Amino acid sequence: METLIGIPDSLGTTGVLSNKTYVRIVYLVVGLVLLLYGGVSQGGESGPQGIVKEYYSMDLDGVRLSGSSWKKVRPLITWDDEPGWDQIYITKDASIHGIKNVSANKTIVEVRYRVIGILSGESLYSFAFNEIVEYVLVKNHDDWKISEPIIPPHVSPTVTLKRIEKSISSRGGTEAAKNLGHAATRLKDLIKSFE
């Protein structure tokens, strides 16, 4: 026996829907909502905010620091390549602080990065500031992608430290290794000061 559900109409009478019809309507509404708001990113969050969060999370993990791992962010962006970066923004954390729908196919997502320093070559510059970046996303077919800006990598302090230590060991007893050793020591102190 099929269950019937009473749904009041605009005249105050009750129309009767079968359980199957009711479920179909619910699926239709959920499908329309997902279609209108951009679907679900690989990380499980929906729409432009999910894409941006996935992008900056991978960036904090150092994914953009090498060509082989950079490919992981490729599905989230419109550009085909990035320059070889000379600087890493050492970033404590990032968070979304706003979203502005410009049109059905363009959205701006504002992200705040808490930067604690910059590694430039073999030198570490320690200063803290908040950086606001407005990511512009465009919708092509059913996919949202970041179209701009292309900013230098924003990498967590611990990932940056591991990268410095790896560079030290690969450079042996050179002057560059010594300079990186100083940068590593300064970064460890910087990490302690933000704990």
pLDDT tens for each residue of 81-104: 988 888 999 999 999 999 999 999
Residue (of 79, 81, 73, 80) closest to 41 by Cα position: 73
Write down the mean pLDDT value for the chain: 83
Tokens of 183: 């940068």
Q: What is the arithmetic mean of pLDDT over 107-133?
A: 96
Q: Is this structure's pTM higher than 0.85?
A: no
Residue (of 172, 193, 174, 163) closest to 183 by Cα position: 163
- Edge-to-edge strands, sheet with 123-140: 143-148, 123-140, 106-120, 87-103, 154-155
Q: CA-to-CA distance for 150 and 148, rounded, in angstroms?
A: 6
pLDDT of residue 37: 42
The CATH number of 47-193 is which of 3.30.420, 3.10.450, 1.10.3470, 1.10.1420? 3.10.450
pLDDT tens for each residue of 54-91: 999 999 999 999 888 999 999 999 999 988 888 999 99
Q: CA-to-CA distance for 21 and 186, rounded, in angstroms?
A: 65
Higher pLDDT, 13 or 111: 111
Q: CA-to-CA distance for 100 and 134, rounded, in angstroms?
A: 10
* % of the chain at pLDDT higher than 70: 76
Q: Is the model's pLDDT at 137 over the cut of 90?
A: yes
Domain ranges of the chain: 4-36, 47-193
pLDDT tens for each residue of 8-52: 544 454 555 566 654 455 454 444 333 444 443 444 466 999 999
> What confidence category does residue 182 fall into, taking pLDDT thresholds of 50, 70 and 90?
very high
